[in-house]
C-alpha cells in the first residue's frame, strides 16, 4: 500500500493525518489515520476506512483529499510517495491551480 503523511503545527503539538491506499484482494481501500505529536509522545486514532470497487474511484478520492489538505496549509512529509493519477492534470498559472479531469 502507498502512504501520504501530512502534518500541521497546532499550538504546542503537531497534528498528523496519514493516508494509506491501495488494493487489498479485489477491493481498493483508503485508510485515514488522525494523530498528534506532542511532548508526551505520538498518538494515532484507529483508521477510518473507505472501500472502492475500482482503482480510478480510489485515486480520485486520494487526489481530492490531498488537494484539500494542501489548500488548508497541511505539509506533505513524504514526498516520494506522492504520485498524480494519470486521469487528472493540474496547471499552476499566476498562483492559481487548475484541475482537468479526463
Domain ranges for the chain: 2-101
For the full predicted model, state whether its pTM sits above 0.85: no
- 3-state class (DSSP) for residue 66: helix
pLDDT at 92: 57
pLDDT at 52: 95
Whether the CB-CB separation of 75 and 5 falls below 8 Å is answered with no
Whether the CB-CB separation of 99 and 88 falls below 8 Å is answered with yes
- Phi and psi, residue 57, nearest 5°: -60, -45
Q: What does the DSSP 8-state code read for residue 102?
A: -
Q: How many residues does the chain have?
A: 102
pLDDT at 4: 86
Q: Is the pLDDT of residue 10 over 80?
A: no
Average pLDDT over residues 77-86: 45
- The CA distance from 47 to 52, in Å, is 16
pLDDT per residue as tens digits for the range 17-75: 999 999 998 999 999 999 888 777 788 889 899 999 999 999 999 999 999 988 888 88
Q: Which of 11-20, 36-45, 93-102 shows the lowest mean pLDDT across its residues? A: 93-102
Amino acid at each position: 500500500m502507498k502512504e501520504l503523511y501530512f502534518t500541521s503545527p497546532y499550538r504546542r503539538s503537531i497534528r498528523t493525518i496519514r493516508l494509506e491506499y491501495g488494493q487489498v484482494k479485489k477491493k481498493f481501500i483508503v485508510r485515514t489515520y488522525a494523530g498528534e505529536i506532542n511532548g508526551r509522545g505520538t498518538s494515532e486514532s484507529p483508521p477510518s476506512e473507505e472501500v472502492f470497487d475500482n482503482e480510478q474511484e480510489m485515486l480520485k478520492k486520494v487526489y481530492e483529499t490531498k488537494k484539500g489538505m494542501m489548500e488548508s496549509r497541511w505539509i506533505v512529509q513524504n514526498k516520494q510517495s506522492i504520485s498524480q493519477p494519470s486521469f487528472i492534470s493540474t496547471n499552476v498559472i499566476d498562483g492559481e491551480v487548475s484541475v482537468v479531469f479526463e
